[in-house]
Amino acid sequence: MKSPRTIHPLAFELMQYFYGTVHEPLIHAYLQYDGTIDEQALIRAVTASIAYVPLLECVFSPAPLSPRWISRGFTGADLVFVESSSVEELEDRTNAILTRVLSIETDPPLRLALLHAASGDRLCVVMSHLVCDGAGLKQYLYLLSQLYTSLLSGLALPPVRQTIRSARRLFRHMRWPQRLSLWFAKYDSLQQSESLRVPYAGDPAHPLIRTRSLPSDSLAALKQVAHAHHATINDILLAAYARALAKATGESHVSLPCPVDLRKYLKESDALSICNLTTNYVVTVDIANDTPFFDTLRVVSSQLAEQKTSNACLKSVLLVEFAFRWIPFCFMKRLFPQLFTIPVTSYTNLGLLDAECLRFGTASVTGGLLTGAVKYSPYFQISVSSFEQTLTLSCNLYGTASDCATADAMLESVISELTTLL
C-alpha cells in the first residue's frame, strides 16, 4: 500500500502549534451575503483551491522525532458544510459554528460552513492558524471568490500558483551583509507587567466570541482625527485599548504587541502568501488617571512610526527560523516558553475586508469580520477588523457568563475611549 504524501512543516507553522498552549490555534471569518451561494460550486471551488494551498488536504502529526503534514486527500466535500437557520436562531447558530474546535491531528485544517437564511446566505470560516494568519485568510477568501465565480460562469480558472509558505522568502533579495546586520539590530522583546491582566476565571467548556462595532460616521470622524494628529486609525485603536487596559487593571505602565504584516518585505508584491508572515512591534506607554488621550496617542504613534522606518522586526523572524531549523522538535517543546515570549495581554488588527474581492457570483457581501483565536485564561486579546465603513472589535475567550460580561465591558471601554474623540 502506498504511503500518504507528507509535507515538512516550516518554522512559523510549528510556532503556531506551540501557541496552542494559550489558545486554540484557529482564526475565524464571518461573511453575510445578500443572495444565495451555490453549494456545489462552492464545494468545487474549495477543491480547486487545494492546488494553491496543499496543506488544506492534510492533517498535522506532531510526532516528537519527525513532525509532518500528512495528506489525507481531503476535498471540498470534506471541508464544506451546509446548514439552514431561521431568523430567530441565526445568531446562536453562527456562534456555535464559529466556536466549534478543529483537531489539527484528525480534522481538515479548514471548515467552511454555508448557512442558508431567509435574509441571505452566510459563510462561517474557521482556518487552522498553522496554515495562515489573518492576512493569509483574507487572501484565501479572495482566491475562493475568484475560483467560485469562474466555475459558476464557465470561465477558465486562474493559473495555479502555489502559495508561499516559508518566511525565508523575506530574505531572498537581501545580501549577506544585510542579513548579518539584522542579527545585531536592536529589537526589544515584549516585557509585560504581571498586573497587566484582565481578570477572568475562564471555562474551557464555553468558547465565546464577543463583538462591538463602530458605525460608519464614527469611523469617518476618527479618520479625520487621525489625519489631524499625523497618526493612523491603528494608532488611535491601540491607544484606546491601552487606556482601557490601564483603567481595568490599575496598571499605569502598559506594554502591548502591535502586529506587523511582513508581506511588505516580499520582493514579489503580488505573490500568493496564504501562510504565517506576521511579527510584532512593541509599544510601551505610561498612562496616569489624568493623562489626556492625545498624550497617549502621541507616544503610541511616535513609537510605531520609528519602528516602521526600520527592518529590525525581521530579527525576530531570523531567530524563529534559526531555532526551529537547528533545535529538534522534541526539545523545542520544553524550550519554547523560555525562548519565545507569549504576551498574556495582546492586540491584533486584521485589516480591511474588500467587498469586491468577496463577491461569490451574483451574491454581494453586505457585512463581515475577521477575528483571531479563542484564548484560555489568563490570556486576553482584542481583535480589530473593518468592512467598508464599519469597524468591528472582537474579544474571544473561554469563559463563564461573568467572563462574558468582562469581555463586553472591555470592548465597551475601548469604544468609550474612541467616542471621546468624536
Q: pTM for the complete prediction?
A: 0.96
* Grid cell for residue 57: 488536504
* pLDDT for position 337: 86
The three grid cell numbers given for residue 418, joined into one nine-digit string? 474612541
- DSSP state letter for 403: H
The residue with cell 475562564 is 202
Mean pLDDT throughout 199-207?
96
Tell me the backbone φ, ψ of residue 151, rounded to 5 degrees: -65, -40
Does the pLDDT of residue 95 top 90, yes or no? yes
- Domain membership of residue 99 (yes or no) is yes
Beta-strand runs (E) in 230-305 = 253-261, 278-286
Pair (179, 130) in one structural domain:
no
Q: What is the mean pLDDT of residues 200-229?
A: 95
Please compute Rg for the chain using Cα positions.
Answer: 21
For 123, the enclosing helix (H) or strand (E) is strand 122-128
The CATH number of the domain where 102 resides is what?
3.30.559.10
Domain co-membership, 121 together with 219: no
Q: Cα–Cα distance between 262 and 326 in angstroms, integer?
A: 23
Q: For residue 161, is it within any domain?
A: no
Per-residue model confidence (pLDDT) at position 1: 58
* Domain co-membership, 143 together with 263: no
By residue range, what is the domain housing residue 337? 173-419
pLDDT digits (tens, 9 = 90+) for 120-158: 999 999 999 999 999 999 999 999 999 999 999 999 998
Whether 274 and 136 have beta carbons less than 8 Å apart is answered as yes
Is the same domain home to 261 and 295?
A: yes
Instruction: Give per-residue pLDDT as tens, 299-315.
Output: 999 999 999 999 999 99
Does some domain include residue 1?
no
Residue type, 111: R
Q: Residue 36: inside a domain, yes or no?
A: yes
| Residues 392 and 367: beta-carbon distance below 8 Å | no
Confidence of residue 180 (pLDDT cuts 50, 70, 90): confident
One domain, residues 382 and 301:
yes
Same domain, 230 and 375: yes
Does 126 share its domain with 202? no
For the beta sheet containing 68-71, the strands, ordered from the edge strand earlier in sequence to the opposite edge, are 6-7, 68-71, 58-61
Average predicted confidence (pLDDT) for the chain: 94
Kind plus residue range of the DSSP H or E element containing 225: helix 216-228
- For residue range 358-378, what is the model confidence (pLDDT) as tens digits? 999 999 999 999 999 999 999
H or E segment and range at residue 296 = helix 293-308
Q: Give the Å distances, CA to CA, from 80 to 105, 226, 237.
A: 18, 41, 35
234 and 145 together in one domain: no
Are residue 212 and residue 126 in the same domain, yes or no? Answer: no
Helices 11-18 and 329-339, axial angle in degrees (round to 10):
70
For residues 377 and 201, give the distance between their C-alpha atoms in angstroms, rounded to a whole number.
7
Do residues 408 and 286 both lie within one domain?
Answer: yes
Q: Is residue 98 part of a domain?
A: yes
**Same-domain status, 271 and 184:** yes
- pLDDT band for position 269 (50/70/90)? low
Could you tell me if 141 and 178 lie in one domain? Answer: no
CB 314 within 8 A of CB 262: yes
As a whole number of Å, the end-to-end CA separation of the chain is 67
Which CATH number does the domain housing residue 218 bear? Answer: 3.30.559.30
Determine the Cα–Cα distance for residues 136 and 291; give it in Å rounded to an integer.
Answer: 38
Q: For residue 174, what pLDDT is reported?
A: 84
Question: Is 71 part of any domain?
Answer: yes
Number of domains the chain contains: 2
**Using CA atoms, how far apart are residues 173 and 171, in angstroms rounded to an integer?**
6
Query: Taking a C-beta distance cutoff of 8 angstroms, is the pair 108, 79 a contact?
Result: yes
Determine the residue type at 156: A
Domain presence at residue 165: no
In a domain, 107, yes or no: yes
State which of 124, 153, 182 marks the end of a domain.
153
